[in-house]
Chains A and B, each alone.
Chain A
Amino acid sequence: MKLLSRFSLLALSAALLFSACGGTDDNTAPDTGRITLNATATYGSLPLVMFDQNYDYEDGMQFQMQLFQTYLSDIELVYMENGAEMTEPLLDVALAEFGDIYTIADAEAGIEVVKTDVPARNYTALRFGVGVSPALNATVPPDYEVTHPLGQNYWEDANSYIFFKFEGNADLDGSGGFQDKLTFHVGGDNNYNSIEFTGAIDIAPDGEAVLNLNFDMEKLLIRSNGDYVDFRQVRQAHSNTAPAAVFMGENMPNALSLTR
């Protein structure tokens, strides 16, 4: 299991600190359990690995990956209390990087996004955003330390973080050459997607729930109606408004699945 970032550790430390200090009126700490959110990436049913795997694409094309990374924002659990919807924040932002996933074993193990203690409850949903939330996207790298996830990946000219990157090499003519470069960088508030997976996430005292969030590159690139990003027509998009960037931004929710 790859550690996502030092930020996760900070979040965990903060959660532990607050849980240690946050007693109730009768001075009894709430029972806690542990939640772990992992992220994996696939191309259809194939684990997504960099370099070594050829992925069959539309119309006879193939490609190899070199990088996939994405921000996740405002990760929280949802629960009901006295008929009202409540949330349990897990992490404000994380950068999930798959660029050093070289083996199927690493791809299947995935990346640890967050692992933290939370009050034991019967939660009803996981909620998060893909990209950088508008509030955080209004900040800039100088607001953060160099090791913070938002200390990098910023477009000054677009006033936005780069929400996700998809990079690789394509073979457009079946020659096996993989000489055509693919670089799709997508950002901008218009490409931010709020996601909610509903369903029971029960965390018992001292218990643990493990969730796995998967990004399917096939569904990111190809819509259910058959529309797809045609690498013969477009191989670079670095903006929040380029048609290919918007296509992928709109498709991102379709590319996600959650298993418990």
Chain B
Amino acid sequence: MARSAHISALAYALLLSLVLGSCGGELSVPVDGQGSALEAPAHFVKLPREVTEQATVAKADLGKRLFFDPILSADSTVSCGSCHLPELAFTDGKAIAVGIAGRRGQRNAPTLANLAWAGDGLFWDGRSPGLEAQVSDPIHNPNELGSDWATVISRLRGQADYQKAFRSAFGASALIDSSLVKEALAQYQRALISAESKYDRAMRGEAVLTASEARGKHIFFDSSAELPDGECGHCHTPPLFTDQTYMNNGVQEQSGSFEYADAGRGGHTGIRFDNGRFRVPSLRNIALTAPYMHDGRFATLEEVVAHYNRGGHPGPNVDPKIRPLGLSASEQADLVAFLKTLTDTAFVEYHSRSKNTLQ
């Protein structure tokens, strides 16, 4: 792959913002002067123009404030950031997310990195068409924020500083409503771009993988005749490390033909062939996002790799690439070592620090 322009404008902007952040500046989102606040790294697929043109720092800053503000929950105890912690690459470390009053949700909280590229559905079952639309789901879900738009809007309108922030982001005549809240939150999440891991640096020739990491990379991408195929890279395709499809990876045991305890994608589409399928998650920062799978059943990456090495539970719509792999213990360790190269420390540190610089 051609990689001549490896340091993107985004990377420079991120470095700039890190410097400013360390000096107590207010920049919280990469920005390139007067242009869009959002730009794809050079080695990523491009973002649609309509996505980049909408993005502004003011909207993303407002979205960040809303994201970490428990005002969005019914009892003002839980925020989006309660289940999507920057220090855990915007996951929560729990098997199943917990909302207001300690209520247990349905599934594992997924990472929010690189959702600017998300297409064909959000959530594990893809039930929401996009970042703006999905905001209503946690707002209304009784096991998450458990609120409603009337309450949320009333509270926000009652705070003068929020009124000022919305006018700053959306214009002097802006009146706080659900559409503006959705847009601000979506803009913040689109700005959560993770593209500077050791893997990225190694691909640019700026870092060298260890022997174990390099073997793991070959296993991941089926790229060495001397090593077994891990079949990982088919679905976890770089640079996003997800192909954004829905797959049955054999983690659930069938209770009947095409029947599963959690129907996943099929629960949304109503198509029985989709039962047991879930959105392929990105593996970026995967070492920070334990536990794993839609139900958080695996506590460690070693357990995940062992699952795939066994080939998973059988089922008619289990993806054909899920099969016994025959990886030795050391090869499984190599694969885990490679997965750990996908951690973007700068991304995590920046956003962890950034949440504490709310205006």
Residues of A near any B CB (own CB < 8 A): 50-51, 64, 66-67, 102, 140-148, 151-154, 156-157, 159, 167-169, 178-179, 181-183, 185, 236, 238
B221 touches A156 (CB 8 A): yes
A156 touches B320 (CB 8 A): no
Which one of B45-53, B162-170, B327-335 contacts A? Answer: B45-53
Assess A151 versus B222: contact at CB under 8 Å? Given A51-B317, A169-B320, A178-B316. Answer: no
Tell me the smallest distance from the CB of A4 to a CB of chain B, in Å. 15
Interchain CA distance A64-B258 in the complex, whole Å? 15
B117 at the interface (CB under 8 A from A): yes
Give every chain A residue within 8 A of B223 (Cβ-Cβ).
157
B238 at the interface (CB under 8 A from A): yes
Tell me the smallest distance from the CB of B356 to a CB of chain A, in Å. 32
CB-contacts of B3-55 with A (<8 A): 40, 42-48
Assess A151 versus B45: contact at CB under 8 Å? Given A66-B320, A181-B322. Answer: yes
Query: Which of A67, A142, A159, A168 has a CB less than 8 Å from the CB of B44?
Result: A142
B47 touches A146 (CB 8 A): yes
B142 at the interface (CB under 8 A from A): no
Assess A156 versus B238: contact at CB under 8 Å? Given A66-B320, A183-B320, A183-B321. Answer: yes
Interchain CA distance A181-B317 in the complex, whole Å? 11
B273 touches A51 (CB 8 A): yes
B273 touches A179 (CB 8 A): no
Assess A142 versus B45: contact at CB under 8 Å? Given A102-B273, A179-B314. Answer: yes
Give every chain B residue within 8 A of A141 (Cβ-Cβ).
45, 239
Interchain CA distance A29-B1 in the complex, whole Å? 43
The 6 closest A-B pairs by CB, nearest first: A181-B320, A157-B223, A151-B45, A145-B46, A181-B323, A146-B45
B48 touches A154 (CB 8 A): no
CB-nearest residue of chain B relative to A166?
Answer: B320
Tell me the smallest distance from the CB of B243 to a CB of chain A, in Å. 6
Give every chain A residue within 8 A of B234 (Cβ-Cβ).
183, 185, 238
B237 touches A152 (CB 8 A): yes
A236 touches B46 (CB 8 A): no
CB-contacts of B209-246 with A (<8 A): 221-223, 229, 231, 234, 237-239, 243
A236 touches B273 (CB 8 A): no
Interchain CA distance A81-B342 in the complex, whole Å? 57
Query: Which of A154, A169, A182 has a CB less than 8 Å from the CB of B316?
Result: A169
Tell me the smallest distance from the CB of A174 to a CB of chain B, in Å. 17
Interchain CA distance A119-B139 in the complex, whole Å? 53
**A-B CB contact pairs (8 Å), 26 listed:** A50-B273, A64-B316, A66-B319, A102-B273, A140-B1, A141-B45, A141-B239, A142-B45, A142-B239, A144-B46, A145-B45, A145-B46, A146-B46, A147-B48, A152-B45, A154-B1, A156-B238, A157-B223, A169-B320, A179-B314, A181-B322, A182-B320, A183-B234, A185-B234, A238-B229, A238-B234
B271 at the interface (CB under 8 A from A): yes
Interchain CA distance A185-B222 in the complex, whole Å? 12
Tell me the smallest distance from the CB of A115 to a CB of chain B, in Å. 22
B2 at the interface (CB under 8 A from A): yes
On chain B, which size bracket covers the interface? 20 to 34
B43 touches A142 (CB 8 A): yes
Give every chain A residue within 8 A of B317 (Cβ-Cβ).
51, 66
Tell me the smallest distance from the CB of B151 to a CB of chain A, in Å. 35
Give every chain A residue within 8 A of B323 (Cβ-Cβ).
181
B119 at the interface (CB under 8 A from A): yes
Query: Which of A66, A140, A154 has a CB less than 8 Å from the CB of B237?
Result: A154
Residue among A50, A64, A152 with max Cβ neighbours from chain B (10 Å): A152
B1 touches A156 (CB 8 A): yes
Interchain CA distance A207-B290 in the complex, whole Å? 59
Give every chain A residue within 8 A of B320 (Cβ-Cβ).
66-67, 167-169, 181-183
Tell me the smallest distance from the CB of A9 to a CB of chain B, in Å. 14
Interchain CA distance A236-B231 in the complex, whole Å? 10
Tell me the smallest distance from the CB of B275 to a CB of chain A, in Å. 11
Assess A181 versus B1: contact at CB under 8 Å? Given A145-B48, A147-B48, A154-B237. Answer: no
Assess A181 versus B321: contact at CB under 8 Å? Given A146-B117, A147-B119. Answer: yes
Interchain CA distance A142-B47 in the complex, whole Å? 10
Assess A157 versus B45: contact at CB under 8 Å? Given A64-B316, A181-B323, A238-B229. Answer: no
Give every chain B residue within 8 A of A238 (Cβ-Cβ).
222, 229, 234
Give every chain B residue within 8 A of A159 (Cβ-Cβ).
1
What per-residue 1/0 map shows which CB atoms of B82-94 lie under 8 Å from chain A? 0000000000000
Give every chain B residue within 8 A of A151 (Cβ-Cβ).
45-46
CB-nearest residue of chain B relative to A177?
Answer: B314
Tell me the smallest distance from the CB of A147 to a CB of chain B, in Å. 6
Tell me the smallest distance from the CB of B231 to a CB of chain A, in Å. 8
Tell me the smallest distance from the CB of B342 to a CB of chain A, in Å. 15
Interchain CA distance A145-B116 in the complex, whole Å? 12
CB-nearest residue of chain B relative to A236?
Answer: B229
A102 touches B271 (CB 8 A): yes
Give every chain B residue within 8 A of A102 (Cβ-Cβ).
271, 273
CB-nearest residue of chain B relative to A162?
Answer: B234
A146 touches B119 (CB 8 A): yes
Tell me the smallest distance from the CB of A99 to a CB of chain B, in Å. 9
Give every chain A residue within 8 A of B117 (Cβ-Cβ).
146
CB-nearest residue of chain A relative to B44?
Answer: A142
A51 touches B46 (CB 8 A): no
Give every chain A residue within 8 A of B238 (Cβ-Cβ).
156
Interchain CA distance A177-B322 in the complex, whole Å? 16
Give every chain B residue within 8 A of A147 (Cβ-Cβ).
48, 119
